Structure 1
Amino acid sequence: MSTQANIVSVRQKLIAAADRLRAAMNELEFGDPVTHIYNPLDYAWRLHLQYLEQASPTAEVLLLGMNPGPWGMAQTGVPFGEVAAVRDWMGITGEVDGVDPEHPKRPIEGLACERSEVSGRRLWGLMQERFVEPSVFFQKHLVVNYCPLVFMEASGRNRTPDKLSAGERAAIQVHCDQHLQEVIETIPWKHLIGVGAYAEACFERVLQCVDAPKKREMTLSKILHPSPASPAANRDWAGTVIRQMQQCGAW
Structure 2
Amino acid sequence: MTNSNVTNSNVKTLIRAARELSDSVDLLSFAEPVTHVYNPLAYARKSHEAYLGRVSGDVKVVLLGMNPGPWGMAQTGVPFGEVAAVRDWMQIHEPVGKPPIEHEKRPVEGFDCQRSEVSGRRLWGLFQERFETPEAFFEDHFVLNYCPLVFMEESARNRTPDKLLPEERERLSAICDAHLLTVIRALDPDHLVGVGVYAEACLKRVVQIEDCRGKVTRILHPSPASPASNNDWAGKVTKQLQKAGVW
In the superposition, the TM-score normalised over structure 1's length comes to 0.96
Report the alpha carbon displacement of residue 6 of structure 1 after superposing the two structures with TM: 1.2
Report the alpha carbon displacement of residue 5 of structure 1 after superposing the two structures with TM: 1.4
AA matched with 2:240: Q
**What secondary structure does 1:202 align onto?**
helix
Task: Give the match for residue 216 of structure 2.
Answer: 220
Task: Give the match for residue 35 of structure 1.
Answer: 35
User: Do the aligned residues in 2 keep the contact of 1:57 with 1:187 (CA within 8 Å)?
Assistant: no
AA matched with 2:187: I
**What secondary structure does 2:104 align onto?**
coil
**What secondary structure does 1:98 align onto?**
coil
User: Do the aligned residues in 1 keep the contact of 2:61 with 2:142 (CA within 8 Å)?
Assistant: yes
Identity of aligned residues (%): 57
- 1:33-182 equivalent positions in 2, closer than 5 A: 33-182=33-182
AA matched with 2:169: R
AA matched with 2:79: P
- State the distance in 2 between where 1:146 and 1:72 align: 15
User: Do the aligned residues in 2 keep the contact of 1:24 with 1:175 (CA within 8 Å)?
Assistant: yes
User: Do the aligned residues in 1 keep the contact of 2:68 with 2:149 (CA within 8 Å)?
Assistant: yes
**What secondary structure does 1:243 align onto?**
helix
Runs of 4+ in structure 1 off by over 6 angstroms are none
Deviation digits for residues 210-231 of structure 1, max 9, x if unmatched?
2x3xx2x321100000000000
Alignment pair present for 1:239 and 2:222? no
- State the distance in 2 between where 1:7 and 1:124 align: 22
User: Do the aligned residues in 2 keep the contact of 1:72 with 1:120 (CA within 8 Å)?
Assistant: yes
- 1:5-24 equivalent positions in 2, closer than 5 A: 5-24=5-24
AA matched with 2:239: R
Report the alpha carbon displacement of residue 56 of structure 1 after superposing the two structures with TM: 2.9
**What secondary structure does 2:64 align onto?**
strand
Q: How many residues align?
A: 246
Report the alpha carbon displacement of residue 100 of structure 1 after superposing the two structures with TM: 2.1
- State the distance in 2 between where 1:116 and 1:161 align: 22
**What secondary structure does 2:63 align onto?**
strand
User: Do the aligned residues in 1 keep the contact of 2:59 with 2:142 (CA within 8 Å)?
Assistant: yes
- State the distance in 1 between where 2:208 and 2:126 align: 31
**What secondary structure does 1:63 align onto?**
strand
- State the distance in 2 between where 1:64 and 1:107 align: 25
In the superposition, the TM-score normalised over structure 2's length comes to 0.98
Unaligned 5+ segments in structure 2 are: none
CA RMSD of aligned residues (A): 0.9
Task: Give the match for residue 245 of structure 2.
Answer: 249
**What secondary structure does 2:128 align onto?**
helix
Deviation digits for residues 176-196 of structure 1, max 9, x if unmatched?
000000000001200000000
Deviation digits for residues 188-209 of structure 1, max 9, x if unmatched?
2000000000000000110112
Deviation digits for residues 77-106 of structure 1, max 9, x if unmatched?
000000000000000012111222110000
- State the distance in 2 between where 1:99 and 1:223 align: 31
Report the alpha carbon displacement of residue 53 of structure 1 after superposing the two structures with TM: 0.1
Deviation digits for residues 42-75 of structure 1, max 9, x if unmatched?
0000000000000134110000000000000000
